[in-house]
Structure 1
Amino acid sequence: MGKFIFTIQGEGRGHLTQAISLSQLAQEAGHEVVGYAVGSTNNRKIPSFFTDYIGDKPLLQYESPSLCYGNGKAVQVGKTALQAFSKFKTYWNSASELASFIDENRPDGIINFYESITGLHQWRTGAKIPCISIGHQYLLLNKHFQTIPEKKIDQFFLNLNTQITAIGSKKKLGLSFLPLENDTKRNIDVIPPLLRKEVKELKSTAGKSWLAYLTHFRLAEDIMAWSTLNPDIQLDCFWDHPNHKETFQFSSNLTFHPINAELYLEKMSQCAGLISTAGFESIAEAMYLAKPTMMVPVPNHIEQMINAFDGAQSGAGIAASTFDLNLFKVYQKDHVTDYSTYHHWIQESSRLMDIHLRELIQPDRKKKSSWKSLFTKRIHWTLPKNNSGLSIPKI
């Protein structure tokens, strides 16, 4: 059995919940997680649902790249890219912090949840410790994955960033809503979404209220406006607002909650449907609980645009460009989806991840040095052939 360190992108809740899920699966299989390293921006506080889960396990938080939203709702691609160059020294120091943390805890392997500093660390150290990178983003590199036809430049930069996060990784694991063929040439294996035990243990009931989850609080303005015009629909919305750390009652039919994992899952199990900013994890949880989803990507957020497209193709719900919840109201009247294939796929998570964790820390006995391979090839090139066409040694 192996000992692992998890490195996690700390923006939003998706990668953090995936790390919790894999921690549970790994421990059930007899492996041990000896430490967690979370990359965030401006010392953003790590959500309590994550710190409560890991308890007294070693935890490192360091500065890492994140998306820039500016003063509006949309992602600012140029500013995000500029940040990566202007703060390179800071990120180099973060890689040093991560190196010290890894040396101190001595893992057999690293499990990387789309954290770019991990790629920088693996490049600096020559990937001395074996690493696997996990995330839905790696599925986008799979030649069998169908993506949106527009925004090719944005997709190029997204995939470039994804490649950077996976520098030095022995394999990339692409999370997928439904089974898809592996891309062996690019070393990408397809695995099911990683759902926590808390999600799998929930009993789903058909409620009347709607649930919303926003990755950025400024997007709440549209939901506020719609709820005012539709007082007959009860809405619970979860957000990470800097000034509203407690429950905020906007109106009689719209309540905002700070991020709270337990309450969020409770509300999801009892809701009639989910309105989401197309985060992969929220869609995956809603599908497991058979809740139809309206997926509204953050403007200019190419990853969420692809998530929404993929989710709609997989039967999760509808993709939309705005929070026109009238579309969702109409959709729910006729929504009938069979989630049995999805549930069977989810059941494969434990078996597949145990295989990947074991393979990661096994010595690669077949691997030859590049010098030896090159030398062998040159020997074959210089060998003369006899009349039968077989190579014979020169004496």
Structure 2
Amino acid sequence: MKFLFIVQGEGRGHLTQAITLEEMLLRNGHEVVEVLVGKSSSRTLPGFFNRNIHAPVKRFISPNFQPTADNKRADLKKSFAYNLLRFPEYFRSMCYINQRIKETGAEVVINFYELLTGLTYALFRPSIPYVCIGHQYLFLHQDFDFPDKSSIQLWMLRFFTRMTALRSSKKLALSFKEMDQDDEQHIVAVPPLIRQEVTAIQAEEGNYIHGYMVNAGFSDSVEQFHAMYPEVPLKFFWDKADAEEVTRIDETLSYHQIDDLKFLNGMAGCRAYATTAGFESICEAMYLGKPVLMVPAHIEQDCNAYDAMKAGAGIVSDSFNLKSLLRFAGSYSPNRNFVRWVRSSERRIIIELEKLAASQSAVNSIPTFTNYLPI
């Protein structure tokens, strides 16, 4: 089967998921003909993605969140106004996505939580079926348990998630644990897409705290901790566009531009991990047996963090309270069931995609009345 990927380019999670799924499909005799990645003025496409993806990569302008003034959380009102004004650009992107669906020869489209994919299918109704994949689709599952947060923000999150999946054939919800299938919403819970590099690396316990922050404003709380405990080594990764490859504050605190190999090696050798609660890196930390401090940057990450906390990943805070993380690390016990669940990922996901492909082939082979008309 020939697959076309459409990937939301915000953060690193969807990008690493796309790399991992492409590797799975290639191992099972399938092909990814092209990868379309949404871009914005505030984010650059990390170099590791272009180095590791095999299919041709093309970019399009896509909606994105705008940060608050302190560059910590996402400002939903500001984001809505900003993206509404840019709708003409997004409409051109939808035309482009529709064109690529037709011209690549893809038989199945896989959407990694890109809003414009759902809107393209709603407006242009391409005939090629598509599957949505991401942790966010658990938010539509009848059994998902939400944190005690603003009901308006939770409604907006679920609405946004539905928009990314308009007219989709199936939703593969990446989950920390096994869950029943939700037939009404066409949701199948599957294990996280964790890269082979993570499953193959040997984890060791070092003396430093490893970290990742989507919004650089969180560096304030990191530096407050560092001022009080300068003896604790801190190695943080960020997406700060105007920063050097390495910003070294002193011997025990440094910030690094996101680099997949360096990030993974840092994760494997750390004592504990602090993050702005992106799903992908939490899964990597859980797999490697690292305790996690989760500092959500928006409502989606609030839900990620709450779900991960219930799965035993770590603790949740509204700031990079690294003292609490070190205290939690002293009593942390890794979730071994999670490791077994992850190891079944390829088998479960490929089965679901091949079932869709088989059903589509069956539909296409059904004879119509015109097949029997005399020539």
TM-score, L = length of structure 2: 0.93
| Number of equivalent positions | 363
Deviation of the 1:365 alpha carbon: 8.0
* Structure-2 separation of matches of 1:307 and 1:220: 21
Q: Secondary structure at the match of 1:251?
A: coil
* Structure-1 separation of matches of 2:168 and 2:126: 8
Deviation of the 1:136 alpha carbon: 0.7
Q: Secondary structure at the match of 2:166?
A: coil
Match of 1:329 among 319, 322, 326: 326
For 1:213-252, list aligned pairs within 5 A. 213-252=212-251
Residue 340 of structure 1 pairs with residue 336 of structure 2:
yes
Match of 1:314 among 311, 315, 319: 311
The aligned counterpart of 1:380 is: none
Q: Secondary structure at the match of 1:198?
A: helix
Over residues 93-138 of structure 1, what are the superposed CA-to-partner deviations in whole Å (9 max), with x where a residue is unaligned?
Answer: 0011112222221101100000011112111222411000011110
Residues 1:351 and 1:144: Cα distance change in structure 2 (over 3 Å): same
Residue 31 of structure 1 pairs with residue 30 of structure 2:
yes
The aligned counterpart of 2:103 is: 104
* Structure-2 separation of matches of 1:364 and 1:47: 35
* Structure-1 separation of matches of 2:125 and 2:42: 28
Deviation of the 1:45 alpha carbon: 2.5
* Structure-2 separation of matches of 1:308 and 1:147: 10
For 1:33-48, list aligned pairs within 5 A. 33-42=32-41, 44-48=43-47
Deviation of the 1:364 alpha carbon: 4.6
Paired AA for residue 306 in structure 2:
F
* Structure-1 separation of matches of 2:215 and 2:43: 14
Match of 1:67 among 65, 68, 72: 65
**Percent pairwise identity:** 35
Deviation of the 1:140 alpha carbon: 0.9
Over residues 66-100 of structure 1, what are the superposed CA-to-partner deviations in whole Å (9 max), with x where a residue is unaligned?
Answer: 11104322211111122332222111100111122
Residue 258 of structure 1 pairs with residue 264 of structure 2:
no
Residue 172 of structure 1 pairs with residue 171 of structure 2:
yes
* Structure-2 separation of matches of 1:345 and 1:109: 26
Contact between 2:22 and 2:53, CA under 8 Å: does it hold in 1?
no
Residue 351 of structure 1 pairs with residue 347 of structure 2:
yes
* Structure-1 separation of matches of 2:41 and 2:358: 38
TM-score, L = length of structure 1: 0.89
Paired AA for residue 230 in structure 2:
P
Match of 2:299 among 302, 308, 314: 302
The aligned counterpart of 1:378 is: none
Paired AA for residue 61 in structure 2:
E
For 1:160-199, list aligned pairs within 5 A. 160-199=159-198
User: Where in structure 2 are there 5+ consecutive unaligned residues?
Assistant: 364-375
**CA RMSD after TM alignment:** 1.6
Residue 360 of structure 1 pairs with residue 356 of structure 2:
yes
Deviation of the 1:63 alpha carbon: 0.7
The aligned counterpart of 1:390 is: none
* Structure-2 separation of matches of 1:9 and 1:276: 20
The aligned counterpart of 2:371 is: none
Q: Secondary structure at the match of 2:92?
A: helix
Contact between 1:296 and 1:322, CA under 8 Å: does it hold in 2?
yes
Deviation of the 1:366 alpha carbon: 8.3
Deviation of the 1:221 alpha carbon: 1.5
The aligned counterpart of 1:87 is: 86
Q: Secondary structure at the match of 2:210?
A: strand
Name which of structure 1's ranges 94-103 and 8-17 shifts more when overlaid on structure 2: 94-103
For 1:272-311, list aligned pairs within 5 A. 272-298=271-297, 301-311=298-308
Contact between 1:60 and 1:101, CA under 8 Å: does it hold in 2?
no
| Runs ≥4 residues deviating over 6 A | none
Q: Secondary structure at the match of 2:101?
A: helix
Residues 1:43 and 1:78: Cα distance change in structure 2 (over 3 Å): closer
Residues 1:243 and 1:43: Cα distance change in structure 2 (over 3 Å): closer
User: Where in structure 1 are there 5+ consecutive unaligned residues?
Assistant: 368-395
